[in-house]
Amino acid sequence: MEEAERLVKKYFEFVSEKKFMGLKCKKCGAYILPPKSICKKCGSREFEWVEFSGKGSLYTFTVIHVAAKRFLNDAPFVVGVVQLEEGPRITARIVGVDPNKPETIKTGMPLKVTFIESDEKVLLAFEPEK
C-alpha cells in the first residue's frame, strides 16, 4: 500500500535546514502554506514542493510580553502574520524591529525571510527588507 507523503513533517525538515519551502498545486497552480492534504481551491491532492521567494509584507502583529514557558527567555518578542508574495500568509517571528516600540513597527512594511533558533529548534522568522 502506498503511503501518503508526510507533508507537515517534510515542511519542518526544510525549516530545520533553513529552507523556506511550500506546496504548489499541480492542477490549479495555487501556492499552499501551511501544508494541507488537499488544495482548498480545486480539491486536488497532487502537489510539488517549491522554494518560496521569502518576500512578503507585515499583515498584522503583536508583541508578546507574557510568553509561554518554553519562550520565557525570549520575551518581549514580536509575532506577526506575513502576507507572502506567492499568496498565502504565514505566522512567524518578526526580528530586526524594536519590541519595546510597537509604534515604530508598521503593518504593510516589506519583509524577507530569515531563521532564528529558539526552544532548541530552528524557527521561521522575517526581518525588514532594507
Partner 1 sequence: MMKKVAVIGVGLTKFGKHPKVSSRELFAEAAFKAIEDAGIDLKDVEEAFVGSFLPDVLEHQGHIAPLMLDYIGLTGIPATHTEGACASSGVAVRMGYMAIASGLRDIVLVAGVEKMTDFPTSDVTEALALASDDLFEASEGLTFPGVFALMAKAHMDKYGTTEEQMAAVAVKNHHNALFNPYAQFHKEINIETVLSSRVIAWPLKLFDCSPISDGAAVIILASEDVAKKYTDTPVWIVASAQASDTMALCEREELTTFKAARMAAEQAYKMAGVKPKDIDIAEVHDCFTIAEIIAYEDLGFCEKGEGGKLIEEGETEIGGRIPVNTSGGLKAKGHPVGATGVAQIIEVVHQLRGEAGKRQVDGAEIGLTHNVGGTGATVTVHILRR
State how far the Cα of 77 lies from the Cα of 9, in Å rounded to an integer.
26
Signed CA dihedral, 23, 27, 30, 35: sign only? negative
State how far the Cα of 112 lies from the Cα of 107, in Å rounded to an integer.
14
Residue 84 DSSP class: E
> Which residue from 123, 127, 128, 129 is in contact with partner 1, where contact means CB under 8 A?
123
At residue 36, the 3 state secondary structure works out as coil
Asked whether position 14 contacts partner 1 by CB under 8 A, the answer is: no
Asked whether position 89 contacts partner 1 by CB under 8 A, the answer is: yes
Residue range at the interface with partner 1 (CB under 8 A); choices 22-30, 49-57, 78-86: 78-86
Residue range at the interface with partner 1 (CB under 8 A); choices 20-28, 44-52, 121-129: 121-129
Interface ranges with partner 1 (CB under 8 A): 8, 12, 34, 59-72, 74, 76-77, 79-82, 88-93, 102, 107, 118-119, 121, 123-124
